[in-house]
Structure 1
């Protein structure tokens, strides 16, 4: 940096904050470190007693924080998001639509490990809404080596660290099981819960069936919904290990790919996920989904609606953070539930 006369400072970059003190009114930085001085700023600078200024000198191979911030943003920004204006080396990313945030965590960690730059975000694999802040990025020093930014870019291999994947309008069928419901001994209180969950993501229940506990009846109902073109089938109830609970057997009779029967999540340990014909999800929901506010269904449904084909490993990773604390005031998804290692 070098010292110059304030009258000659237009176009130069400040190396430190300039504080303005007006008794009883303000004591704050009138210009921040990194500010590019304009002609109209000069009278203000003189009024706060700055006859001379320390400014940054452009050097070969050295980037100003705002220049580097644009590069960092470019590395992070994927589909369906936009950046805020750059300020003091900082840019935030804002969601342009509803969807699920996907993060390449390995790349984000690798960039953060370089030092002098940072990326902070909300958790991936969770829903975001249009207008949500999803990440903040910043260059730490006033200037940074261009070569270091090039190394950071190379770590991303040309692919953005963040993406927002939009929901798909899947044709959904719901099969409620249980002799007590089938024989009208009790009212079906499960299906309305599922309908409400689907509506959170703009999805309507297009087909509905009630079945006894006989696995062949449930199997037949699943086949009929597939024949009608359902893109997703949800079976409720009959998911425990009791001899009378035969929904898992019915799902196994239909689906070629059984991803899991059981998951390290409470509520929702007896959850089942399978796929028919490669990409049509069939889910078996345990009874807790009916009465608990948030369960494994809330963790899985958004990702399924984004056409993500989940693997067993995706569910096994939910163990850390897989315990819902049933807080008196639920703040999900802005809590620890489902945020695994």
Structure 2
């Protein structure tokens, strides 16, 4: 590839523009391949000398290089997105444990500065839709010889994979002492249940016993008889030795203790054993809290179907320091106030004239439960974490307000709603409080998008990690609603006519995260007479 300044002329057709340039009526972005029309437009705008990249024989353009190398990253549980600006992102299709080949990744990154691959850390738990890796081609093209070496290196290699979590049946024993409060038992059960269900498991009814070896062993026997594939024991007091009450109950049940203590803090006092082929774990006291601790490291590997032994637990020390504390002479990072959770608002668009369903207003269509269609959509939004909820009205505004009466939401009227969706978006954005960090743009004619779906979109939002625009998908198709970070509000407000905010996406591909949904609710709006007829079967 030849890179440098050049005199603007017809001989630059096929060259790649190195920097974005304005013409009289548009912006020609960097990376654009020049043709006769763009060269003429640049001349008319007064440009004479520009910087370009010209491909040499054998050079592979960035998009093609990214596509070819990205194909080697595909595998079970993974989804490789289409290349955008020389970048290919890899996403998880399922929940599981991420595994990397550090040596292979380093070898690829060492091969040539034109090719880079960044990933999450090894052995991280991931959820569907999480971005695991990004492969970026740095220049506009990769020399053919470099591509040959990169493809030879990747052939037959698995640089990243997701070991899917298995559905396991888990038993929990909780021992009691007089000083232990009921709240502590409840917190332990709830925190444990969340850990189990988050990994796709199910939990048997917990068993409470006195803090003695024989009763705990009896509870273990009952849980094993009920089909427990993993046994967890929450002792009323912390374990202090392999021969302590709870570990002794594992031994009394015919099991062995393989490891007492782990190099993860919090979580040091975990005790790992086995009864036959069933893992049996005495939980550290910190497991009563939902915050990450040593038990999460162990559960991730068990649910991913991986063997756990003394050596495995010993290896968890790298990355196992999960907390800071006051006695350290010099804190590792400046102490600041905890970062507050961002305010995520929801804007429900309910201003349209419903022309495709005329003469009826689709939003007022009655569902079998008596609610209007727009009310069902709004109730899901109100049940989500989004706050505040703003409804944009326009056509038949009084009737829409009446259908939503009594609900905790704010109404704003789009005066020029008849001009198209852009006016509704402007009205909704303008009504957002200053403290709102992002907003879900919800459609009032999508009553099947429930609160759990909305909360998954909110949970995926993290602008610091490049997840500033969150889009739901189903089987590869993008749907609604879309969550937008505040920094895109100005671009949304600048839209006109019946343009939706989706046209902005092409300018911010690196800021998008897709969240795959199990059903097609995010694809189903009801804006035609036939679609509204199908509502009769919706509960």
TM bucket (normalised to shorter chain) is: 0.7 to 0.9
Counterpart CA distance in 1 for 2:81 and 2:155 is: 24
Superposed displacement of residue 42, structure 1: 4.9
2:499 paired residue number = none
Sort the Cα spacing of 1:170 and 1:40 in 2 relative to 1 into closer, same or farther, 3 A. farther
CA 55–208 in structure 1, closer or farther in 2 if over 3 Å, else same: closer
CA contact (8 A) 1:103 1:161 kept: yes
Match for residue 20 of structure 1? Answer: 22
What is the DSSP-based 3-state SS (H/G/I as helix, E as strand, rest coil) of the residue aligned with 2:316?
coil
1:198-225 residue CA offsets vs partner (Å, 9 max, x unmatched): 2333433214222333323323332332
**1:223-302, aligned counterparts within 5 Å?**
223-237=221-235, 238-241=237-240, 245-254=244-253, 258-278=257-277, 280-291=278-289, 293-302=291-300
Secondary structure in 1 matching 2:317: coil
SS at match of 1:318: helix
Query: How many aligned residue pairs are there?
Result: 324
| Cα deviation code 1:7-28 (max 9, x no counterpart) | 5766x24162242277xx99xx
Alignment of 1:124-139 (within 5 A): 124-139=122-137
- Larger relative CO (CA 8 A, sep 6+): 1 or 2? 1
Please name the residue that 2:79 is paired with. 82
**Alpha-carbon distance between aligned partners in 1 of 2:242 and 2:255, rounded to the nearest angstrom:** 23
| Inter-CA distance 230–140: structure 2 relative to 1 (3 Å threshold) | same
Q: CA deviation at 1:269?
A: 0.5
Q: After superposition, what is the alpha-carbon deviation per residue over 1:60-84, rounded to whole angstroms, capped at 9, x for unaligned?
A: 3x32222221232123333333233
The residue number in structure 1 matching 2:303 is: 305
Shift of 1:40: 6.0
Q: Structure 1 residues 193 and 46 mapped into 2: Cα distance closer, same or farther (>3 Å)?
A: same
* 2:138 pairs with 1:114: no
Distance in 2 separating the partners of 1:307 and 1:119: 27
Specify every segment of 5 or more residues in structure 1 that has no aligned partner in the other structure, as ranges. Answer: 336-341
Name the CA shift for 1:163/1:41 in 2 (closer, same or farther; >3 Å).
Answer: farther
Q: 1:252 to 1:57 in 2, by over 3 A?
A: same
- Aligned with residue 221 of structure 1, among 219, 222, 244: 219
Q: How much is the aligned-residue C-alpha RMSD, in angstroms?
A: 3.7
| Residue of structure 1 aligned with 2:196, choices 195, 198, 202 | 198
Q: What is the match of residue 315 of structure 1?
A: 313
- For residue 299 of structure 1, give the secondary structure of its aligned residue in structure 2: helix
Q: Is the partner of 1:76 in helix, strand or coil?
A: coil
Query: Which of 196, 208, 211 is equivalent to 2:209?
Result: 211
Give the direction of change, closer, same or farther, for the CA distance of 1:291–1:67 in structure 2 (3 Å limit): closer
What residue ranges of structure 2 are gaps of 5+ in the alignment? 325-336, 342-461, 465-539
Q: Residue 44 and residue 131 in structure 1: after superposition, are their counterparts in 2 closer, same or farther (change >3 A)?
A: farther
